[in-house]
């Protein structure tokens, strides 16, 4: 039985840090275990220019706990008015590592996203030319499409035509939730990859709805059937280099989650690495954990692997904090719903 595992320090390829009073509290949870993270740009207002990305990066670095190191990998929020030259300059300088595509209305703070995908074709062509990856929230927002089918329909209606028109573009399907997306990514070229969250490996839609509504399990894309959860587990524990960790850790204060129209998002930064060790042990794949958390992402983004390491140890049941405090209010930590015996050795 393995009770200790040392791996390269992990990266998070999809992270929400928010801004303002919440930022220092949630950032502290990420930097304990992660060296870098792709930072989501869906602030209010969104991060749409190089200058805004630089200012946000500076606020993140200023909020770092003393003695901690962390590299925020910045992104721009793609709109139908994105400035090609500004995007090109921000990428060439190393300021941004990707651009984020939100279909308008798909998730939190996505109202400024894309309505007409034809309008962004010049931007995508420029991104392919300069080698800037596109991170995609892969859901259609057509009200006639069932919420549990939005990802599969997006692949057919939007992503496949988009990639056919710009095959050189490097695309990351973020937070995939279905077997449809797993098979699509596995079957496509090297220009396509996918991130998978911690919580989608642990919960299915029953966890949200059965026995009463559980607002802290509500996320977008919403968790799907158990067959899809098992497909995600199989993909990430297989060692396939096209799949890597993007937690989509998305903090909201309890007052915003626990209401009649609660916000979508699970806050997983605190216990992600411990939960992943649990998942990979269950799947007899601890030898593939490092690839998922620390190697596949850098390889796709063309970045070096972290030289530092972290050690996970297994012992008694770990009691994770139920909430973390922020100046905006308490934030509930994701509850995996089962006993976790792994933790990061601090």
For residue 105, the model assigns a pLDDT of 77
CATH of residue 76's domain is: 3.20.20.140
Domain count, the chain: 1
Pick the catalytic residue from 248, 287, 328, 339: 248
The two tokens of residue 14 are 């999809």
Range of the domain at 163: 4-344
**CA 35 from centroid of its chain's CA atoms:** 15
Q: Which of 173, 275, 266 is nearest to 220 (CA)?
A: 266
And the tokens for 193?
């990859």
Query: What local confidence, expressed as pLDDT, does residue 321 receive?
Result: 98
The reported pLDDT for the residue numbered 109 is 65
The pLDDT value given to residue 189? 80
* pLDDT for 112: 78
Q: Alpha helix (H) ranges present in the chain?
A: 23-31, 50-62, 84-92, 121-130, 150-154, 160-165, 179-187, 199-202, 205-209, 226-236, 254-257, 272-282, 289-290, 296-301
pTM reported for the whole predicted model: 0.96
Do 238 and 209 touch, CB atoms closer than 8 A? no
pLDDT tens, per residue, the chain with 346 residues = 899 999 999 999 999 999 999 999 999 999 999 999 999 999 999 999 999 999 999 999 999 999 999 999 999 999 999 999 999 999 999 999 999 999 987 777 677 789 898 999 999 999 999 999 999 999 999 999 999 999 999 999 999 999 999 999 999 999 999 999 999 999 988 899 999 999 999 999 999 999 999 999 999 999 999 999 999 999 999 999 999 999 999 999 999 999 999 999 999 999 999 999 999 999 999 999 999 999 999 999 999 999 999 999 999 999 999 999 999 999 999 999 999 999 999 8
Q: 248 catalytic, yes or no? A: yes
């Amino acid at each position: 039985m393995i009770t200790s595992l040392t791996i390269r320090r992990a990266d998070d390829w999809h992270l929400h840090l928010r801004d303002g009073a919440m930022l220092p509290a949630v950032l502290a949870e990420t930097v304990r275990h992660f060296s870098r993270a792709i930072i989501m740009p869906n602030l209010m207002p969104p991060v749409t220019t190089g200058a805004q990305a630089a200012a946000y990066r500076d606020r993140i670095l200023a909020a770092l706990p003393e003695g901690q190191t962390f590299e925020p990998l910045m992104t721009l929020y793609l709109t139908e008015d994105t400035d090609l030259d500004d995007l090109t300059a921000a990428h060439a300088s190393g300021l941004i590592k990707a651009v984020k595509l939100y279909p308008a209305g798909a998730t939190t703070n996505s109202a400024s996203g894309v309505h007409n995908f034809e309008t962004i074709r010049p931007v995508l062509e420029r991104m392919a030319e300069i080698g800037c990856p596109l991170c995609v929230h892969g859901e259609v927002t057509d009200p006639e499409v069932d919420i549990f089918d939005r990802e599969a329909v997006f692949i057919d209606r939007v992503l496949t035509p988009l990639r056919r028109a710009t095959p050189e573009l490097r695309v990351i399907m973020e937070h995939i939730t279905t077997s449809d997306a797993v098979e699509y990514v596995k079957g496509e070229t090297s220009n396509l990859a996918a991130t998978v969250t911690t919580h989608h490996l642990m919960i299915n839609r029953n966890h949200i709805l059965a026995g009463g509504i559980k607002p802290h399990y509500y996320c977008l894309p919403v968790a799907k059937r158990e067959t899809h959860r098992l497909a995600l587990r199989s993909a990430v524990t297989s060692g396939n280099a096209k799949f890597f960790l993007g937690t989509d850790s998305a903090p909201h204060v309890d007052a915003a989650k626990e209401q009649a129209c609660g916000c979508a998002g699970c806050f997983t930064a605190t216990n992600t690495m411990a939960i992943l060790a649990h998942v990979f042990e269950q799947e007899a794949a601890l030898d593939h954990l490092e690839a998922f958390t620390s190697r596949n992402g850098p390889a796709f983004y063309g970045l070096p692997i972290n030289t530092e390491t972290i050690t996970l140890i297994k012992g008694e049941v770990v009691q994770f904090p139920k909430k973390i405090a922020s100046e905006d209010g308490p934030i509930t930590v994701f509850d995996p719903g089962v006993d976790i015996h792994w933790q990061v050795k601090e």
